[in-house]
Structure 1
């Protein structure tokens, strides 16, 4: 049952259309006062926030949509320019990634590990925060704020997860790493890396992949940023497991250099109602 936090799923959907971009379905979130955060978190303390109405994409941005942006603008991502993308392969110790000069959004884990030819409906990855912002400026949308993302992901819950999810049931809702460690490949849920958007169950608001699949860039700053430009992302990714990271929830806020590109980082977009 939905808790006291007020979220309204409007009985219609909002759309964004450009001559090049993939059509996206947006879900409206009502303006209101929401309880966010956690009592033991320094980055995200429990608090009440007032947020204007907004509309958020039901799923993460796909390779298909990003390809349309690149086709229209000839944009070159930072990973392509600097050849510094960070990728993963089974066998690495916990929290260890490797730099692959061949990796970028078309080959998000490096050329040797295959490309996106048959994965156009997977979330785009191996892009930086600055690349995500460039897409948003072209498409007339924006990244969600840290608070907007949390409101939408919680879908009325005031707990760590949206209603219906716990560590045992999350396999139905999120593409995450189920192995004990990352030394051996894990395809328990059918995927080693990303999965197609909307493969797993949606949250009660109708958003897919808010947990797992890829971390999602958001706008906003934390006290520990101390005035520095730091990019933040939420929701966890395919790499996250119960034993490592475990950030596939509505409370955790991750941090990364705005110029960094990882094969488990993507985004979803927001627009005003």
Structure 2
């Protein structure tokens, strides 16, 4: 197998595969200001809502809308930052998946049967990094902008020669499911369910975006997304080429920052592209004895749902910067545009 083939194989694996309550008038009473408030978290009052969308200007996995009910919970105001994750690593000595040599027994679970093991020289610690091509490329070939970079990790987002200087308050990236769960457990929290995440992102609205039906409101950008011609020409009109510090944009009506854009966020739910169709009896039940996941673009996927889109979502390629948007993320890997936030039970 050639080196090019191995890299392509890795891309397929890692890419297809984060007391008394008083009302606060600024968010309709959804923030607790009593002595039981949890620092850095917002109390999300539970309720019923419409999950997914019936808007045809969306992706099939989001349709049709279904009704959900969630109980009250606490949610981090922001995505987990590099500074917060560094505190966890310092306290525990934890080593992330991207910093470890790949485990072939795990890798082959998400590859077609009979796939040969890559040469040992290629089995090195690293992660997938977005690298903008020099010019326009086919949008059907993700290897044109995603590169497997040895040495890339949460501490070195673009590779060994990069670091976190000046990015302490940016969301941590290159985080695999195992890493996010380990942090959450250490913090006394957990990952949100997909329903909790979407309920919190919509903040009581049923509009295309958390703030309304237009991406840009009053001439102001409300989230960190990609402006220009994807993937080679990011005009960065919103002020950011990559990730941005948390709280760079105004929060939604629940007081949560960056629920749209910046980085995708991991949830606790397995990804089933036909989940809502199944609920409406418009698709056969998922045979969970065979797999907990279903992704028609990757039949061997072992993926969790990620939500919110990222700084790479663009009008001409990826319109996932909406609360209803959903896609799968390989549980064994991270990328430079996936992070997470945590929730806590009452």
What is the 5 A alignment of 1:57-206? 57-82=76-101, 83-91=125-133, 93=137, 94=139, 95=142, 96-112=145-161, 114-164=162-212, 166-169=214-217, 172-206=221-255
- Secondary structure of the 2:40 match is strand
Is the Cα contact below 8 Å between 1:7 and 1:30 reproduced in 2?
Answer: no
Q: 1:249 is matched with which residue: 314, 322, 331?
A: 322
Distance 1:70 1:42 in 2: 39
What is the 5 A alignment of 1:17-36? 24-36=39-51
Aligned residue in 2 for 1:21: none
Residues 265, 128 of structure 1: alpha-carbon distance in 2 compared, 3 angstrom cutoff:
same
- Secondary structure of the 2:180 match is helix
Distance 2:269 2:220 in 1: 29
Structure number with higher helix proportion: 2
Distance 1:171 1:260 in 2: 34
Residues 245, 171 of structure 1: alpha-carbon distance in 2 compared, 3 angstrom cutoff:
farther
Distance 1:171 1:238 in 2: 16
Figure out how many residues of one structure are paired with residues of the other and give that number: 260
Higher radius of gyration, 1 or 2: 2
Distance 1:185 1:178 in 2: 6
- Secondary structure of the 1:71 match is helix
Aligned-CA RMSD value: 2.2
- Secondary structure of the 1:213 match is coil
TM-score, normalised on structure 1? 0.88
Aligned residue in 1 for 2:31: 10
Is the Cα contact below 8 Å between 1:127 and 1:265 reproduced in 2?
Answer: yes
Structure 1 residue 221: deviation in Å?
A: 2.5
Is the Cα contact below 8 Å between 1:7 and 1:29 reproduced in 2?
Answer: no
Structure 1 residue 10: deviation in Å?
A: 3.0
Aligned residue in 2 for 1:38: 53
- Secondary structure of the 1:85 match is strand
Superposed CA offset, 1:208-254 (max 9, x none): 10111000001113434842442221000011111121100011111
Structure 1 residue 191: deviation in Å?
A: 1.4
Residues 91, 171 of structure 1: alpha-carbon distance in 2 compared, 3 angstrom cutoff:
farther
TM-score, normalised on structure 2? 0.70
Q: Runs in 1 of length 4+ with deviation above 4 angstroms?
A: 13-16
Q: 1:223 is matched with which residue: 232, 251, 272?
A: 272
